[in-house]
Amino acid sequence: MLKKISFAGPSITQKEIDYVVDATKNGWYETYNIHIKKLEKAVTSYLGVKFGIATQNCTLALHLATATLGLRDTDEVICTDFSWVATAYAISYTGAKPVFVDIDPDSWCIDPQAIKKAITSKTKAIMLVHSFGHPAQMDEIMDIAKEYNLRVIEDAAPSLGSEFKGQKTGTFGDIGCFSFHGAKIAVSGEGGIFVTNDEGIYKKASLLASMGRTDSKAVFWSDMLGYKYTIANLTAALALAQVERIDELVAKKREIFSWYYERLKDVQGLKIIKEKKDCKSNYCYPSILLQDSLSVSRDEVLEKLKALNIECRPGFPRMSRFPVFEARFPNHEAEKVEKWGISLPSALNLTREDADFVCDSLLEIIE
Ligand SMILES: *Cc1c(COP(=O)(O)O)cnc(C)c1O
């Protein structure tokens, strides 16, 4: 039986175990939320932002973002067509309409020029994704937002540790959201965090995340329709241990990418997606684009790799094709990645031998 090469998975050490045991024993009574407070502090000081609210997952952090900005059913939000559907659903939960636009073929992040073309009188915000850990072009995006007076939400779910021009992703827009899902770089199984530099946004989001509760007029008083989105202390303890190791985790992901890059950079018939100028990627999901001139289809490649116990992922289907949405633009670059994109295994237990086996197998299949 060939060794299983997992697509994603964490690095867990004694530190994580100790923090979880500590939370189990001590995260009650007057210290019932101590690990949550520590997690929010650790993430905000790492990113260099003022405020953080840890949530049960990133999908909820994204909904908290769209709800806090007061989006509603007459509004449009310009959104990348290439992402996990949580990005767009977070817009739809408010009644606002996601308008899906194309991606930059070199980073698979939203194309700033496509944003410009999609702006209408109804546009209220831009929802971008730092796709697979690659930073979006934040200077151009923030310039457009300023010019047209649009809010910016960064779906930074997989990009903890990535940087654009030396500034951490998730800290450019009005709100940034990160995930600690088990398949991300720093994990707690389920978990996420909402960050902002704006005190007004932070205050409103805090109310919304905890049932609108203020205790201002009475104990158990609620001031607005709210949600129960805050994280569990036990979960926060695990996330905290991971965040304290983020530099090590980013270094490992970048090392994994370098193994693939070395082997695949000059191969005919595929393109490996590399960080662009001025960008530092955490390479959460190292990815390639096969050329449509190959004699095998992308799905055949995936099946053959799976038969060798190598777990890869196909590119996301364009969300604009989903039954709940509608397409306004064809988005040909996103279509190419949908058809020909592959994310390679980058679990944090991956070895150099594993990466070589993945490359050997891939090259044999596409030859
Ligand atoms: C993982 C991911 C999410 C969702 O995160 P959860 O914590 O699983 O809710 C949202 N957007 C993107 C781009 C993601 O990769």
How many Å lie between the centroid of ligand 1 and the Cα of residue 157? Answer: 5
Kindly report, as residue ranges, where domains of CATH 3.40.640.10 are found in the chain.
Answer: 14-244
The reported pLDDT for the residue numbered 1 is: 81
What topology is assigned to 14-244 in CATH? Answer: Aspartate Aminotransferase; domain 2 (3.40.640)
The reported pLDDT for the residue numbered 279 is: 98
Mutate to test the pocket of ligand 1, among 60, 81, 82, 87 (most ligand atoms within 8 A of CB): 87
Cβ contacts of 237 within 8 Å, gap of 6 or more: 19, 20, 22, 23, 27, 35, 39
Sheet holding 279-280, edge to edge: 167-168, 163-164, 279-280
The reported pLDDT for the residue numbered 367 is: 87
| Ligand 1 site, residue 86, Cβ cutoff 6 A | yes
Ligand 1 nearest atom to the CA of residue 184, by list position: 1
The reported pLDDT for the residue numbered 219 is: 92
In order of 15, 169, 191, the CA distances from 26 in angstroms are 16, 33, 20
How many Å lie between the centroid of ligand 1 and the Cα of residue 62? Answer: 9
Distance between CA atoms of residues 111 and 337, nearest Å: 14
**Nearest protein Cα to ligand 1, atom 8:** 181
The reported pLDDT for the residue numbered 53 is: 98
How many Å lie between the centroid of ligand 1 and the Cα of residue 25? Answer: 30
What topology is assigned to 246-366 in CATH? Answer: Aspartate Aminotransferase, domain 1 (3.90.1150)
| Ligand 1 site, residue 58, Cβ cutoff 6 A | yes
Distance between CA atoms of residues 274 and 259, nearest Å: 13
Mutate to test the pocket of ligand 1, among 131, 177, 181 (most ligand atoms within 8 A of CB): 181
Ligand 1 nearest atom to the CA of residue 181, by list position: 7
The tens place of each residue's pLDDT in the chain, 367 residues long, gives 899 999 999 999 999 999 999 999 999 999 999 999 999 999 999 999 999 999 999 999 999 999 999 999 999 999 999 999 999 999 999 999 999 999 999 999 999 999 999 999 999 999 999 999 999 999 999 999 999 999 999 999 999 999 999 999 999 999 999 999 999 999 999 999 999 999 999 999 999 999 999 888 999 999 999 999 999 999 999 999 999 999 999 999 999 999 999 999 999 999 999 999 999 999 999 999 999 999 999 999 999 999 999 999 999 999 999 999 999 999 999 999 999 999 999 999 999 999 999 999 999 999 8
Distance between CA atoms of residues 190 and 61, nearest Å: 12
| Ligand 1 site, residue 8, Cβ cutoff 6 A | no
Ligand 1 nearest atom to the CA of residue 87, by list position: 11
Distance between CA atoms of residues 282 and 162, nearest Å: 5
How many Å lie between the centroid of ligand 1 and the Cα of residue 129? Answer: 10
The reported pLDDT for the residue numbered 215 is: 84
The reported pLDDT for the residue numbered 229 is: 98
Ligand 1 nearest atom to the CA of residue 59, by list position: 9
| Ligand 1 site, residue 83, Cβ cutoff 6 A | yes
How many Å lie between the centroid of ligand 1 and the Cα of residue 128? Answer: 13
pTM: 0.98
Q: Which residues pair with 101 in a beta bridge?
A: 80
| Ligand 1 site, residue 84, Cβ cutoff 6 A | yes
Q: Residue 359, Cβ neighbours under 10 Å: how many?
A: 17
Kindly report, as residue ranges, where domains of CATH 3.90.1150.10 are found in the chain.
Answer: 246-366
Ligand 1 nearest atom to the CA of residue 130, by list position: 13
In order of 48, 156, 172, 193, 352, the CA distances from 177 in angstroms are 14, 5, 11, 6, 32
Q: CA neighbours within 13 Å on the CB side: how many for 104?
A: 23
The reported pLDDT for the residue numbered 216 is: 86
**Nearest protein Cα to ligand 1, atom 1:** 157
How many Å lie between the centroid of ligand 1 and the Cα of residue 1? Answer: 33
